[in-house]
Structure 1
């Protein structure tokens, strides 16, 4: 089912460089057919790009999109397509603000580069030289981790998104990292992590003496003319020209966030900005990202960073053997500093992807050719990544790359992700036992603790709270501030009652149909309460938005509840 075909795609404003204005004449004077296959190819016209984007938006069911293209160091196209919010007529233009997700990581690396240039930091400084309280899983790594390590994805911490609803600030987040097992050994391999970019924000604020947003604004954005770019939701939401994020209406959808044929709705922006910036959270527009691209292709008239710093940020540091779909290269590549890099046909591609809060973003550069493209959508979609590769191929690609079915490749990947997700859910349902809790519900009541999650309490209540439904897209879903935008699930009726799946009879019913087990955390907005829905025996499900948290109570040989094993949070021991 195509649901967005009637979204208007005309734009009230657009910025098109002089390069685009002469393209039509260049096409008329093109060489004979044999020479037309030479490299690089003639660039597409703006009209051709418009037609491609409008068709692609209908294909991927995207409400609105921002696009910026820099060609030969000049702005070729900076505009918007579609609408800022479904059901409303306001159209996207070059000044419309979008959340750019992990495309923020390059800004994080750039703020470190600025401190290095100003002599306030060295790339080889130990983190503990500046943040003495910082600790990781083992003393040696804690002692040896350097500034350059934290923006090159080689530390090994993984990404602890499940902490985001629980912690009160960035330091709270970072002090829980020693309780996690490393995903791989320090400097052993590439391992994508948001945690170290969270640390980047803490380091910049410690050394600069100001918050990260203010430092980035003073040192980077203002010199570049990026006057509306921000890492604060307040100013972005106050702007009359911002794109609303959209998510699939169906709650607890097990499939890929980019799935088409499902109704969408707009949802409020949410981001734990005081925790995770600059791992994500930067908000910008096509017009202003054009200036960011020009800086990185060496064409900005007022660069806030030296060419040597820009080159270092693009330099390979950590090998990536298998690129992700958002990476602007084919085959093995590398992570640099806030950027990925590798070969795309005849050029070196530098770029990144981002997703969060009902947005997807992608940026791809070919610095030696003065080229860059940025795209963003106001729903979770593969389209931003498809567009950047299509644009790289059309402007600078080989004939083989220009003929690639970029849409089809990503559509097949989404279909395969859905197949795996649906099969896993079917297997889980088939394995479910028709057995109620093994002990009365009040036996589970109590406090449980570990160093990672802190204290978790299980309560028995006469009336369960409505399921917490953070209004987010499916990707980046741990980023919400719990409680700020709660909404009941569509299937909330009866959720959380103990009297389901065989638990209503005998001792297992405890307090009959009125009894509800509730999981309670101390979160960013205390308390965070999640109804526990019985699955089978001593296994329950708690739902944080569309994230299922499996909760398995642990019993000893005397049928005493001694702890709980929770998805994402590990084993917690019962507090006496």
Structure 2
């Protein structure tokens, strides 16, 4: 459970949201004076969030049309160390990477080298979905709009246990589709395939294409789609999770497998350049770097996402962008989150030429959204409508609370009539399926454990629960979230199969025993 897909909103009709736009058409654009008046209050909110321990560190960048109006860091890069966050501190962006990757593809589209409606079968003939018709008709637009029919978690679990990008994309052909072009289903590896296919059509690796088409032309020297480049930065933010009520830099996250969807790292200063490009409809430093028509397609609302649970905005997805119609009008945006320690946000009000980026080095926290919503209130209304930071903090705090509570209720205490496990020899062995590959159960120090992944790098200790049911923590960042490992015992008294509950979302959690 590494990369969060974002909030899942109830379905709404597109017409309902678009109906809001004309009512706002007569609103006056905001002035620089209104923005300047809001900045001291925004800065006070950001400093308070750090002082109160809501996040270890923050970086904020604000652009109005083609002018930088605010750029500052707060707090520390890593708890327990003195290094401060500054405008050049590099953060892992998580899903904030998606609109950046959409900009890269728009640059290729603007050169007439590929189209948003180019078929993946033409760009990357080896890629397949589980059904023939979607495989033949699937386009770059389908994948960047999350309407391919791939379920949201497809591929994430493979990455989590150590598979690389090529292996994950190849195994997506095993995943049953949930419709095709019928509804929105957020897919990290679907979008990744869309980006990779464009790069392959240009004879380049995705990481090189992103650098050539966006990072270098905009002078984004600290920005990369490679994890190794992030690690090479001396001024970088560590990831933090809450353990025992305290922020700790306990985990790391290598997102290379899904680099287009979640693997960009950048600084607030670099992202100023990209904000200028987006707000300027492809113009940067007085030049049309990307054709406006190609870039404008990324901001069109294509798929209904529902209602934003915190601010009530009608929400849609474009191409790598959330498109919302809310209390202050049209907003383009995207959040990023690694459940093992990152929260980021970009939010742009295009009609006002105003954009904000908020980067933080912790999860869970709603501080990025809270600061952005508060800033827009201050600019548009002169005061903050609600305590947005609290509202968003409560939203993120509630993401896993119910799941953890349900886990404790179901697996926290063995049943009173629990039976002891069979001898370890009944369970030890090699199990496998086509999607996840091998699961090897061994005995170590008198206890069972299961090793997953191509190199057996994901190891879960198994704790006896009730006869052939064992439990294990399903994610290192959430040690209280337990899952069940259930063995099926054959006529010979040995396990014939093993089902791992946390890998069974798509029905691939059952592993059959194989000969050693």
TM class by shorter-chain length? 0.7 to 0.9
Please show how residues 114-513 of structure 1 align to structure 2 within 5 Å.
114-157=107-150, 158-160=152-154, 161-182=156-177, 184-250=178-244, 262-267=245-250, 269-273=252-256, 275-298=257-280, 300-301=284-285, 302-323=287-308, 330-356=312-338, 357-380=340-363, 381-396=365-380, 398=381, 402-414=384-396, 416-417=398-399, 420-421=402-403, 423-429=405-411, 432-434=414-416, 435-461=418-444, 463=445
Correspondence 1:572 to 2:502: no
Higher relative contact order (CA 8 A, sep 6+): 2
User: Judging changes above 3 Å, is the alpha-carbon distance between structure 1 residues 249 and 323 closer, same or farther for their aligned structure 2 residues?
Assistant: same
User: Given that residues 330 and 343 in structure 1 are in contact (C-alpha distance below 8 angstroms), is that contact kept between their aligned partners in structure 2?
Assistant: no
Measure, in 2, the Cα distance between the counterparts of 1:421 and 1:270: 23
Once the two structures are superposed, residues 176-211 of structure 1 have per-residue CA deviations (whole angstroms, 9 ceiling, x without a partner) of 1122233x3111111111121221342133122222
Aligned to 1:105: 98
> 2: distance between equivalents of 1:518 and 1:347?
53
Distance change in 2, residues 1:342/1:215 (3 Å): same
Q: Tell me the equivalent position of 1:51.
A: 44
| In structure 2, C-alpha distance between the alignment counterparts of 1:159 and 1:136, rounded to whole Å | 15
- Residues 202-241 of structure 1: per-residue CA shift (max 9 Å, x gap): 2133122222222111111111121111122323222221
Contact 1:94/1:286 (<8 A) preserved: yes
| Per-residue CA distance 1:403-428 (angstroms, 9 max, x = gap) | 12212322443555565245313412
- Asked whether the 8 Å contact 1:294–1:300 carries over to 2, the reply is yes
**SS, match of residue 192 in structure 1:** coil
RMSD: 2.5
For residue 12 of structure 2, what is the aligned residue in structure 1?
Answer: none
TM-score by length of 1: 0.76
Once residues 210 and 398 of structure 2 are traced to their aligned partners in structure 1, the CA distance between those partners, rounded to angstroms, is 40
Aligned counterpart, 1:520: 451
Q: Output the CA distance in 2 between the equivalents of 1:269 and 1:109.
A: 26
Q: In the alignment, which residue of structure 2 is the partner of 1:529?
A: 459
Q: Secondary structure at the match of 1:533?
A: strand
Q: How many angstroms does 1:334 deviate by?
A: 1.1
Return the offset for 1:560.
4.5
CA-CA distance at 1:304 after TM superposition: 2.7
- Please, what TM-score do these two structures have when normalized by structure 2? 0.84
- Larger Cα-atom Rg: 1
**Which stretches in structure 2 are left out of the alignment for 5+ residues?**
1-26
CA distance in 2, matches of 1:231, 1:430: 40
Instruction: Structure 1: give runs of 5+ residues left out of the alignment.
Output: 1-36, 251-261, 464-514
